[in-house]
Structure formats: C-alpha cells, structure tokens
A = this chain, B = another copy of it.
Amino acid sequence: MATADDGPRRRGRRPLDRQAIIDAALELIDENGIDGLTMRNLGRRLGVDPMAVYGHFEDKAALFEAVVDHETTRLAAVPGPLPDDPTEIIVRVGLHYRTVLLDHPNLAPQVAGRPLPQEVRAGPVTLSLDLFRAAGVADEDIPRVANALTRFALGFVVREAAEVAYWAGVDDADQLRRARLAERVDELDLRAAAHNLDPDQTVLDFELGLRALLHGLGTHRSHLPA
C-alpha cells in the first residue's frame, strides 16, 4: 500500500515517462476539452510539479503534437480478419477511422486536420495504390478518389463529434446557452436532431454515405460537367 502522504495523486506509482504524460493529457482532454489540458492541471493529475513535464517534452506544443501523433498512429491499426473484396476493405477502414476518432471526440478535429502518414505506408492495412486498383479505380483517378474518401470519412466524423458535443453543451458553464439550444432543437425538423444524436443511426448514415460515395465514384470515370 502507498503511504498516506506521498502527494495528491500517489506520485511515483508511475515513473513519469512520456507515455504516462500522454495518457494523463488524453484524460484531461476527454474530461474538459482541449482547454482542459494545461501544464498545471497535468502536473496535478500526475502528482508532480508542473515543470517536471518539461524534462520529457520541450514545451506544451511538443507535448500536444505527441498526443495527436499517438492517436494518428492508432488509425492504421485496423483490426482483422479483413474481407477479401477491396471495396469492403475500404469500408472497414472507414468504419475503423470513425471508431478511433470518437474514442476522444474532443481531439477529433486535431487528428483529422493532420496528414495521415500511416494511411499511405505503414500499418497492417493501408489505403494503397494496389487497393484502389483492385477496386477498379483508374490510376489517374486515384488521388482524387482517395481524397474524396478520406475527406468524407474524417470530415463526417469530425462534424458528428462536434455536433454531439455541441448539443450536449460542452462548456455548460452558463444555463443561458442551454436555453437557446432548447429553442433551436424545436426549430429543427428536417435535420432531425434526435436522429443525429443516436450513435446507432449515425453509424448507419456513415456507412451509407461511404458506400454511396464509393459506388458513385466507381461507376463513372468523371461526374464533372464538360
């Protein structure tokens, strides 16, 4: 058992390496959004002087980049076994992206706003040239098709995460904003706010959109007007 007075959060239990700091940073971001990550909060959570973190990261920006990189890396780890059909593989990758981004919705915009090296090269599954070729995409269309799919998948989920956070009233410090939200919910009929907040519905929307996009991109060499 730990002694009673070795710090507010039992410091020393974890030896304060980079991973322990990244994990604590993710906790703070999950709990209070991106602004919840402050060097002082981080020190308190780790049971350590705030300045101790500077021994492992040059500054807050470097720490934050490491946190985002940590999540970006997870995007490449698509769980198997995988289907044979290339189209189905692409759908699976898309659904996996969504799952990873929603694990830390407050960080989703940052993860999605960054290039994804792993989707190009490393990792067990990659959106590779060969995959798109196997799916029947002509070589010269691949960058465009890859762009459309990537931006659809990441953009969809970022907006999903942001909407959920917004309606939930992220920084619910003031009741006034909530009251205004309630009004707006009543205004919405077409958008069907309730529909948007149900994860079981949203994942279906996501898969529908992804398949429709794949189908639309695949059946026509170009949808652009002459």
Per-residue 0/1 for A161-178: is the Cβ within 8 Å of any B Cβ (1 yes, 0 no)?
011011100010010010
* Interface hits, A177-226 → B, CB 8 Å: 177, 184, 187-193, 195-196, 202, 204-205, 207-209, 211-217, 219-220, 222-224
Contacts of A177 in B (CB 8 A): 65
Q: Are A184 and B117 in contact (CB under 8 A)?
A: yes
Check: A138 CB closer than 8 A to any chain B CB. Answer: no
Grouping DSSP codes into helix (H, G, I), strand (E, B) and loop, the A interface class, with mixed when no group exceeds half, is helix
Contacts of A143 in B (CB 8 A): 190-192, 195
* Interface hits, A43-93 → B, CB 8 Å: 61, 65
One of B117, B155, B166 near A115 (C-beta < 8 A): B166
Cβ of A219 to closest chain B Cβ, rounded Å: 7
Cβ of A138 to closest chain B Cβ, rounded Å: 13
